[in-house]
């Protein structure tokens, strides 16, 4: 069996699916892994796929890829661009795009498994390929764990994973310790008193209070966090009212917090609650705001000794110049839930998907942020090669570092 990975990638890119609805993607991954000779189980944690290849005595190595798309309308102009629209869990129709590269991840995982199968006479151990749903909801890894990922299948001795990034294609980036920030979602509803827009003195305006809170929340980073500490506080949505001449009775803001330590997380979430409660009191609200903490992803922390082993094999494979320390990234991941449940070290790295020439030109012009689309952008479009070759090789050589080469 010889897979055309470029065709597989383009097909997956053109047919993205939202979190926990990745039935087509999961079916393709399951079929290909089964054809490669692995024992495949579907429906793990919803739509997750687990494929196992026992190849003699040795360690158990888990390779993980995520597979969900995003509610983003693609604007790349590619001839394989997504035109998919679907009804989301809230009943609203949305466009869908692989704006974070999970199509790349699935393709590279399948390619790495194909490579490991072809080399099975040179290594010994058990390979566990994990195709995970719902990373974008930071829920899929835990769903698979709750469905017995580390009890029903061989428990991994190491968990390996990767993410395509707006680095030049050919570059691999990894670091020991905190690699990606933890993420928390907080919804705050202010309870005011509605009324006619012409008589604001009879109301307690929750929308004005929400706006004050949005501004004040930025002081958590600028005035309450140590310079250089990795803390991000963003307000991504305000929901209030439905007419220009009505002061609404309630207003809700959705806050996202990124931190890399439990100490920072506790301090920032406490500050969020303190600020919104104080703003409500300052506005004369008699009911405190409702604060709901929902989605949480812990920081992604790489094991130092395991990362050193992977880095050494990456340098051997790609060259010293191609292996960098990208610093701690403020994006978040849920892959750590799998390693934590298994009690296994985690190594998670990035690999470039940007056109090297375009990246170099933007870097020289100081326009990387505007000219090189990043993950979640409607223009995010990794170049097919050498992105896929590097992603396949990285997973394969990292696995063989544990299996013995």
Which is the catalytic residue, given 22, 68, 279, 401?
A: 68
Shared domain for 292 and 311, answered yes or no, is no
The rounded distance, in Å, linking the Cα atoms of 400 and 269 is: 41
Number of neighbouring beta carbons within 10 Å of residue 319 = 11
Considering the domain architecture, whether residues 167 and 193 belong to the same structural domain is answered as no
Last residue of a domain, one of 297, 329, 361: 297
- Supply the CATH number for residue 190's domain: 3.30.70.360
pLDDT tens by residue, the chain, 405 residues: 567 999 999 999 999 999 999 999 999 999 999 999 999 999 999 999 999 999 999 999 999 999 999 999 999 999 999 999 999 888 999 999 999 999 999 999 999 999 999 999 999 999 999 999 999 999 999 999 999 999 999 999 999 999 999 999 999 999 999 999 999 999 999 999 999 999 999 999 999 999 999 999 999 999 999 998 999 999 999 999 999 999 999 999 999 999 999 999 999 999 999 999 999 999 999 999 999 998 898 999 999 999 999 999 999 999 999 999 999 999 999 999 999 999 999 999 999 999 999 999 999 999 999 999 999 999 999 999 999 999 999 999 999 999 986
Domain stop point among 297, 313, 329: 297
3-state secondary structure of 189: strand
> pLDDT digits over 336-354, tens only?
999 999 999 999 999 999 9
Considering the domain architecture, whether residues 21 and 31 belong to the same structural domain is answered as yes
Q: Which of 22, 66, 103, 135 is catalytic?
A: 135
Please state, in angstroms and rounded to a whole number, the distance separating the CA atoms of residues 363 and 239.
Answer: 38
Domain boundary among 297, 322, 351: 297
Distance (Å, rounded) from C-alpha 179 to C-alpha 327?
7
What is the extent of the structural domain holding 222?
Answer: 182-297
Does 163 carry a binding-site annotation?
yes
The rounded distance, in Å, linking the Cα atoms of 233 and 186 is 10
Give the model's pLDDT for residue 1.
Answer: 55
15 annotated among ligand-binding-site residues: no
Report the C-alpha gap between 86 and 101 in whole angstroms.
19
What is the number of structural domains in the chain?
2
Interhelix angle 23-35/5-14, nearest 10 degrees = 160
Is there a single domain that holds both residue 110 and residue 220?
A: no
Is 68 one of the catalytic residues?
A: yes
Residues 120 and 63 in one domain: yes
Asked whether residue 226 is marked as a ligand-binding residue, the answer is: no
């Amino acid at each position: 069996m010889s897979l055309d990975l470029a065709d597989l990638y383009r097909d997956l890119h053109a047919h993205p699916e939202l979190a926990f609805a990745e039935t087509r993607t999961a079916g393709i991954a399951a079929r290909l892994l089964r054809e490669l000779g692995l024992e495949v189980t579907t429906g793990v944690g919803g739509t997750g796929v687990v494929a196992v290849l026992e190849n003699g005595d040795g360690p158990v190595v888990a390779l993980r890829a995520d597979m969900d798309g995003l509610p983003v309308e693609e604007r790349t102009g590619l001839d394989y661009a997504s035109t998919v629209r679907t009804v989301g869990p809230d009943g609203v129709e949305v466009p869908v795009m692989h704006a974070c590269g999970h199509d790349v991840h699935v393709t590279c995982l399948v390619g790495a498994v194909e490579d490991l199968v072809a080399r099975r006479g040179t290594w010994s151990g058990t390979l566990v390929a994990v195709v995970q749903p719902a990373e974008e909801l930071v829920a899929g890894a835990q769903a698979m764990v709750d469905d017995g990922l580390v009890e029903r299948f061989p428990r991994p001795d190491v968990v390996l994973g990767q993410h395509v990034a707006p680095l030049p294609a050919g570059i691999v980036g990894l670091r020991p310790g905190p690699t990606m920030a933890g993420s928390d979602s907080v919804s705050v509803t202010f309870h005011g008193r509605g009324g006619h827009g012409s008589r604001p003195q009879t109301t307690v305006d929750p929308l004005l209070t929400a706006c004050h809170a949005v501004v004040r929340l930025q002081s958590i980073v600028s005035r309450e966090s140590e310079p250089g500490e990795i803390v991000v506080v963003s307000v991504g949505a305000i929901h209030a009212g439905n007419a220009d001449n009505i002061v609404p009775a309630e207003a809700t803001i959705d806050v996202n917090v990124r931190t890399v330590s439990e100490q920072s997380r506790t301090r920032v979430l406490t500050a969020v609650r303190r600020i919104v409660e104080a703003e409500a009191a300052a506005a004369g609200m008699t009911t405190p705001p409702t604060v709901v903490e929902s989605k949480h992803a812990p920081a992604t922390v790489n094991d130092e000794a395991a990362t050193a082993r992977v880095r050494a094999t990456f340098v051997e494979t790609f060259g010293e110049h191609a292996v960098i320390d990208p610093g701690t990234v403020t994006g978040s991941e849920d892959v750590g839930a799998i390693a934590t449940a298994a009690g296994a070290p985690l190594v998670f790295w990035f690999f470039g998907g940007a056109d090297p020439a375009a990246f170099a030109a933007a870097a020289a012009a100081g326009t990387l942020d505007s000219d090189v689309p990043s993950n979640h952008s409607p223009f995010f479009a990794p170049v097919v090669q050498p992105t896929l070759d590097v992603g396949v090789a990285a997973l394969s050589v990292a696995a063989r570092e544990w299996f013995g080469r």
